[in-house]
Amino acid sequence: MIKSKNLFQIFFILLVLIIVGTFIMNILINHKLYASPSLFQIAAHWSPFIYQGTINNYDLITNFNFDGNWNGYDNWENAGKNQYYTNFHAYVYYAIIESDSHYFITYMFFHPRDTGNPWGLGLYGWAHENDSEGCRVVIEKDGSNWGRIQNIETIAHESYYIYNNPSLINSSHPAVYVCERKHAVYGTNKAKSYDCWYLTGCKIFLVQRELVLDIGMLEEEQKSLQV
C-alpha cells in the first residue's frame, strides 16, 4: 500500500515535470526551435524595408494582375484608369534558392508604368510598360535558424550593385531605396546616380512588413490558379 507521503512525492514530481515541460515547449515554440523555418519564413524574415520615391501613383509597387488579368499588353492603359490608378495594392514577388551554404532571396518590385526620366532622354530615359526591378538578399547558413546576411544586390536599369554587410532595420531587414519614375533600386540613398538626384526631393513613404502578408496572399492566389 502506498503511503500518503509517497503519494505526495509522486504528485509533486509529476507537477514539476508538467511545469518544466510546459516551460520548455513555450521556449521552443516562441523561438521556433522546434522546427527549421520554412523557405517562406526565411524570405519574410529577411524581407527589405522599401523606401519608395513617389511623384504619383505610378510609383506605387503593386501586382502584375492589378487589373484582374494576366495580360501584360493592357497594363499601361489600365494603370491610367481611375478605378485602378487610385486602388493599387502593395505586393512584392519573391523567389528563394537554397544551396548547401546559402539562401539567395530575390524580391521583385513591379510597377505597371515606368514613366521615364523627366526629360525622356538618356540611355535609360524612355518610358515603358511593365517595369520589373528589385533586389537579392544573400544569406549565409551559419547554423542558426535564420542564418547571417552576407550582402544585398540591387538592380538599377541594367547595372547591379552589391552592398556587403548591410545595416539592418529591426535586426533582419535591409533597407533599399527605389527611385520614382524609373524605379531603379539602390542599397543606399546616396548612390552616385542621376536617379537619386531627384529622389531626395520627392515624397518618400516606407512600405513595411505588410508586404509579407501580401506575399502570402499571392501564394494562395497562385495555388487557386493552379487548381
- Write down the H helix ranges in the chain: 4-30, 39-45, 75-79, 82-85, 194-199, 210-226
Toward Ca ion, which CB reaches closer, 45 or 182?
Answer: 182
C-alpha R_g of the chain: 24
Q: Residue 114 interacts with Ca ion (CB under 5 A)?
A: yes
The three three-digit cell numbers of residue 62, written as one number = 503593386
Query: What minimum distance in Å lies between the beta carbon of 114 and Ca ion?
Result: 4
Positions in 130-159 near Ca ion (CB under 5 A)? 131
Q: Which stretch binds Ca ion (CB under 5 A): 106-114, 147-155, 171-179, 213-221?
A: 106-114
Buried residues in 111-139 as b, exposed as e (16+ CB within 10 A): bbbbbbbeeeeeebeeeeeebebbbbbbb
Query: What minimum distance in Å lies between the beta carbon of 68 and Ca ion?
Result: 8
Q: Which stretch binds Ca ion (CB under 5 A): 13-21, 113-121, 147-155, 169-177?
A: 113-121
Query: What minimum distance in Å lies between the beta carbon of 182 and Ca ion?
Result: 5
Full DSSP string of 86-146: T------EEEEEE-SSEEEEEEEEEEEEE---TTS-STT---EEEEEEEEEEEEE--SSSS
Q: Residue 183 interacts with Ca ion (CB under 5 A)?
A: yes
| Count of CB atoms situated within 10 Å of the CB of 68 | 8
160: part of which helix (H) or strand (E)? strand 159-164
Query: What minimum distance in Å lies between the beta carbon of 181 and Ca ion?
Result: 8
Q: Which stretch binds Ca ion (CB under 5 A): 32-40, 48-56, 111-119, 207-215?
A: 111-119
Toward Ca ion, which CB reaches closer, 136 or 182?
Answer: 182
Q: Which of 44, 47, 53, 67 binds Ca ion (CB under 5 A)?
A: 67
Toward Ca ion, which CB reaches closer, 71 or 87?
Answer: 71
Q: Which of 74, 98, 142, 219 binds Ca ion (CB under 5 A)?
A: 74
- Residues lying near Ca ion in the complex (CB under 5 A): 67, 69, 71, 74-75, 114, 131, 182-183
